[in-house]
Structure 1
Amino acid sequence: MNKENFILSYIDRLKNLLDKVDTESISKIIDLLEETQQKGGVIYVIGNGGSSATASHMANDLNVGLKRRGIRKFNVVSLADNSPVITAISNDIGYENIFYMQLEDVVNSKDLIIAISCSGNSPNITKAVKYAKEKDVKIVGCTGFDGGELKQLSDVVFHVNAPKGEYGLVEDMHMILDHIIYSYYISLGNDE
């Protein structure tokens, strides 16, 4: 396949996924964000690799991005951002504990977890989510492919039904989710 054909094919596949977005799930995520803020809870975002970057971007947009514009004051924390903590936990007790250990004895029923995982089967994601569910924390799962275990564990799922291995498309859609939510709040701020 030549470059031009590949580029057009990628764009077409992304357009097809956009056409199938479950807008109801996005609305439910917005509702959970607002409920969490009203209860005085913390929104924790977790992810690995590219999903880690999305977690950081989401924390930036929904926390400081909205706060500095005087639109919303969500308390959003990306647990993927502290490399000393992550490397210490993974070195001392295993990578599967990097999010769980940061949540242990901290997370409570007022909080919300946004877990981002293309496969939905990352052990560090599922362990943290299972622990949070024991504490009656609501879970938003951002998944791809078949959704894996995270899709089953989540209260609200933003699922990208892309073919297995299409990480770029799934990660693109998760980033678009962030920007839809962020832009929704920006539009509310502009209406005031």
Structure 2
Amino acid sequence: MKDYTKKISSYIDQEKQVLDTISQEDINQVMNLLEEARLNGRRIFTCGNGGSASTASHMVCDFNKGVSLNQETKYNFECLSDNVAVMMAIANDISYDDIFVIPLQNKLQKGDVLIGISGSGNSENVVRAFAYAKEKGAKTIAMTGYSGGKLKEMADYSLHVNVDNMQIAEDVHLILNHLMMYILAGE
């Protein structure tokens, strides 16, 4: 039997170190923006690719059901990564880089919020969605890893996980989702 305990310990230690670097003030600002959107009837869109798409979808579940369940004024989250048919039609007929911006052109209103999740911060389809959202007067929240890439620079609000490890960045993005959901559900 192989002994993986040193590698397991190293991964867990790195995750703990990264969590200690996350700005609590940035999280607080994002939570206040999300609450403002909820109370003003604004829509909140999420998007990402791969594991980040999974986190984007998970947020919709946690906020639309978990946080909203016992609130009179509910959250209105929608994950742009969840409609495979629309994404594939756009990717096939137009460009994969436009799979999020085209649905936003049908739905996004001034004052809405777009949460873009990208480990690198450079996913072109999320970058294009951010550019469109900013053009239309929506607020943007970037959840990134590594250096934060283009999304961190473009975002109105940033939840940046400063680590050059995709798995840990994605882990922490989900932790941040659960942290916000847990606190806001108790309000």
**TM-score, normalised via structure 1 length:** 0.93
Aligned residues: 186
Question: Following the alignment from structure 1 to structure 2, what is the Cα–Cα distance between the partners of residues 146 and 42?
Answer: 28
Residues 71, 186 of structure 1: 8 Å contact kept: no
1:187 maps to 186
Which runs of 5 or more residues in structure 1 are unaligned? Answer: none
Structure 2 Cα separation of the partners of residues 72 and 65 of structure 1: 13
Deviation sequence 1:100-157 (CA, Å, 0-9, x none): 0010142121200011001011110000100110011110000110100000000110
Contact 2:46–2:115 at 8 Å: present in 1 too?
yes
Once structures 1 and 2 are overlaid, which stretch shifts more, 127-136 or 64-73?
64-73
The 1:39/1:69 distance shift into structure 2, 3 A limit, reads: closer
Q: Match of 2:105?
A: 104
2:175 match: 176
Q: Deviations over 1:18-73 (max 9, x none)?
A: 11121001101111111112221100001100000000000100112222234751
5+ long unaligned stretches in structure 2 = none
2:42–2:112 contact (8 Å) kept in structure 1: yes
Greater alpha carbon shift after TM alignment, 8-17 vs 38-47: 38-47
Q: Which residue of 1 aligns with 2:145?
A: 144
**Contact 1:47–1:115 at 8 Å: present in 2 too?**
yes
Pairing of 1:116-127 with structure 2 (within 5 A): 116-127=117-128
Q: Partners of 1:72 and 1:6 in 2: how far apart?
A: 46
- Structure 1's consecutive aligned runs of 4 or more residues displaced over 4 angstroms after TM superposition are none
Fraction of identical pairs, as percent? 41
Q: Does 1:25 align with 2:31?
A: no
